[in-house]
Chains A and B, each alone.
Chain A
Amino acid sequence: MAMIKQTYRDALRDGMSEEMRRDPEVFLMGEEVAEYQGAYKCSAGMLQEFGPKRVIDSPITELGFTGLGVGAAFMGMRPIIEYMSWSFALLSSDQIINSAAKTYYMSGGKVGCPIVFRGINGLGKMVAAQHSHDYTNMYANCPGLKVVCPVTPADAKGLIKAAVRDNAPVLVMENERLYGMEGEVPEGDDVLVEIGKAKVVKEGSDITLIGYSMSTLQCQKAAEMLMKEGVDAEVIDLRSIRPLDKQAIVKSVQKTNRAVVVEEGYSFAGIASEIMAVISEEAFDALDAPVARLSLKDIPIPYADHMEQASMVQAEDIVEKVLAICKV
């Protein structure tokens, strides 16, 4: 397959644009998506290509324009709703959870909602507590939604395309720090990444490191450092939180007999606790050590750089945790 090198933000843009060329019922709406070319330049050139009918600047009223998108999706359109941040999207959570997620069930399957909600999630850089929060667990908790967290440009493109074509509401959790990262992206209009499939990004035999979004990168970095310590770690990028690829997790843990889960968000009732429950329920007998987790520190995220860094999970933290487990 022919590959091109591009940034995460360009891969997202190409994914959205390809789907808009393919299906006239797809439109992009959100804060600064049109004239400004995207608050983070993820829709650069899209207004020029598709015009103001299909690339629409919204007022900064998340509840209103999210509900508008959901109403259009009820009618069978396929809106892509962009948020400048998932932190702002809290105002729209009523429409995401009460309308988008539940109407298909409440209507006995009569009213579907094929919509994509996307934007930056988790920690940025020195933007303080109200702009630094991982909401993945909150939405993944809700039946009726799909939640994906692409970390590579290839997955960003493949998953946004799959999300647009999916008949269910799909939330795409991106990260500001990923937008400028480059990677190899397969060419072709129909290269999708299946929602609900994790990926083994590094094979290993001693321990399984499980991450999603930015935390996958920390796991990869830690795995390299661990090689020097003589520990061969396997790294799994979940890619999709709901549906969760339980099989991939269980299969890996059955091979390595140990696991550390690294999450973007807070530990309490978080993603890691869910993964640990899955391992406990389905691979308990395979475990040689208790499953461990590393999460964001349990504090509102501070502004100052060194304080912010200290609140995040670093690769060194993972290495330390793994060495403690493997020496047991």
Chain B
Amino acid sequence: MAVKSAAKKNISLVKSLHNHFTQDDLLQQYETMMTLRRFQEKVGSLYQQGYMGGFCHLYIGQEAVVTGAKAASKEGDDFITTYRCHAHAAISGISMEEILGELMGRSTGISKGKGGSMHMFDPEKHFWGGHGIVGGNVPLATGMAFAAKYREEDRVTLCFFGDGAADSGAMFESFNMAALWKLPVLYIIENNHFSMGTAKERHAAGEFYKRGEPFGIPGQKVDGMDFFAVYEAVSEACEHIRAGKGPILLEMDTYRYKGHSMSDPAKYRKREDVDTIKKQRDPIQRLSQVLAEEYKVKEDVFKEVDKKAKQRVAEAVEVALDAPKADMAELYTDIIQENKEGE
């Protein structure tokens, strides 16, 4: 029932957001989400075919969070996230070729094959990783925001982490400092309902969006499966933060369709539960519904977008597969950042 009323709210919301989104704009967002989905699906199948190893955490189901947040943030804002980072890297502008290259240990990988699935970075594109320790990126984001405030720069740090990390002391310590010093950071909990294999009800007491309350950090629970809801919440939050009013906490109620990582068959939940979410809340379906009903976009347009997404992914796979293995000459580079002459 709650889901239904949320969907209804979105239809009314989109009317109020008409000024923001032309049909082309919205179709662009749809294409972004569809490309992320097809990309992650392809990564999953390539992993199963043995093209990559180690840990691999897919983002399928959560696409509206990163897409809505990107649309609502400004050029120059910084993104930082956890090990489930492929979509955040891609939406920041790192190419699928570079991401796939990294996943396959190729010389074209964004981290020269030295980071892998969990560690991708590109400061020029304001993307700061890609961090493997649960909760570890939250203090880092807080420090990035500290630097922005210190330098009096107009930039917001968007810090993404999961419901598992939301239990960590690192998060609470960060909240304390960010609130105390009014740092320009937006904390986004992507609550996909599982801390690895432990359901929210079994790992977390109380509500996530209230976890900033003791520090005076305003919190809000957002339908993270709805592009518009994410967009609206992140826009308002960023406005508050840019005004120098300190951090905001958003809990995105979302869902991951796959296991925690590729090695997780997700036996801790019923298949029907996942199917129900897919049927009722899928973020891509819901955006297409709005486009069809409100913007009268025809079915063949969606098909065309999907075709284009698959094609784009296929091209990236081809490029990645053609690239040589990561260069052994890089094995002993980038360990210590040397000072340049005269520094």
Q: Which of B111, B132, B173 contacts A63 (CB 8 A)?
A: B173
Instruction: Check if A67 sits within 8 Å of B170, measured CB to CB.
Output: yes
Contacts of B115 in A (CB 8 A): 106-108
Per-residue B-contact encoding for A89-117, CB less than 8 Å = 1, 0 else: 00000110011000111111111111000
**B58 within 8 Å of A by Cβ?**
no
Q: Which of A66, A75, A105, A108 contacts B144 (CB 8 A)?
A: A75
Q: How far is the CA of A243 from the CA of B240 in the complex (A)?
A: 46
Instruction: Check if A74 sits within 8 Å of B176, measured CB to CB.
Output: no
Best-surrounded residue of B136, B146, B169, B174 (most CB of chain A within 10 A): B146
Q: How far is the CA of A108 from the CA of B150 in the complex (A)?
A: 27
Instruction: Check if B174 sits within 8 Å of A107, measured CB to CB.
Output: no
Q: Which of A68, A107, A146, A165 contacts B143 (CB 8 A)?
A: A68
**A166 within 8 Å of B by Cβ?**
yes
Stretch at the interface among A53-61, A226-234, A297-305: A53-61
Q: How large is the interface on A (under 10, 10 to 19, 20 to 34, 35 or more residues)?
A: 35 or more
Instruction: Considering the complex, give the chain B residue whose CB is closest to the CB of A110.
Output: B121
Q: How many residues of B contact A (CB 8 A)?
A: 47
Instruction: Check if B144 sits within 8 Å of A72, measured CB to CB.
Output: yes
Instruction: Check if B139 sits within 8 Å of A95, measured CB to CB.
Output: yes
Instruction: Considering the complex, give the chain A residue whose CB is closest to the CB of B124.
Output: A110
**A71 within 8 Å of B by Cβ?**
yes
Question: What is the minimal beta-carbon distance from A46 to any residue of chain B, in angstroms?
Answer: 16
Instruction: Considering the complex, give the chain B residue whose CB is closest to the CB of A100.
Output: B140
Instruction: Check if B337 sits within 8 Å of A109, measured CB to CB.
Output: yes
Per-residue B-contact encoding for A67-83, CB less than 8 Å = 1, 0 else: 11111111111010000
Stretch at the interface among B65-73, B265-273, B289-297, B327-335: B327-335
Per-residue A-contact encoding for B149-184, CB less than 8 Å = 1, 0 else: 010000000000000000001100110110010000
Instruction: Check if A68 sits within 8 Å of B129, measured CB to CB.
Output: no
**A143 within 8 Å of B by Cβ?**
yes
Q: How far is the CA of A144 from the CA of B136 in the complex (A)?
A: 18
Contacts of A74 in B (CB 8 A): 123, 128, 140, 143-144
In the complex with contacts A53-B150, A59-B176, A71-B142, A165-B339 CB distance below 8 A? yes
Per-residue A-contact encoding for B250-278, CB less than 8 Å = 1, 0 else: 00000000000000000000000000000
Question: What is the minimal beta-carbon distance from B38 to any residue of chain A, in angstroms?
Answer: 26
Q: 8 Å CB contacts to B: which residues of A11-46?
A: 27
Instruction: Check if B173 sits within 8 Å of A167, measured CB to CB.
Output: no
Question: What is the minimal beta-carbon distance from B237 to any residue of chain A, in angstroms?
Answer: 19
Instruction: Considering the complex, give the chain B residue whose CB is closest to the CB of A102.
Output: B119
Instruction: Check if B335 sits within 8 Å of A58, measured CB to CB.
Output: no
Contacts of B148 in A (CB 8 A): 75
Contacts of A146 in B (CB 8 A): 336
Q: Which of A95, A110, A143, A167 contacts B136 (CB 8 A)?
A: A95
Instruction: Check if A144 sits within 8 Å of B335, measured CB to CB.
Output: yes
Q: 8 Å CB contacts to A: which residues of B75-118?
A: 109-115
Per-residue A-contact encoding for B116-138, CB less than 8 Å = 1, 0 else: 00011111000011111100101
Instruction: Considering the complex, give the chain B residue whose CB is closest to the CB of A95.
Output: B139
Residues on A lying within 8 angstroms of B by beta carbon are: 27, 53, 58-59, 61, 63-77, 79, 94-95, 98-99, 103-114, 143-144, 146, 165-168
Lowest 10 CB-CB distances: which A-B pairs, in order? A67-B139, A71-B143, A64-B173, A108-B112, A109-B334, A71-B140, A68-B143, A107-B121, A75-B147, A61-B173
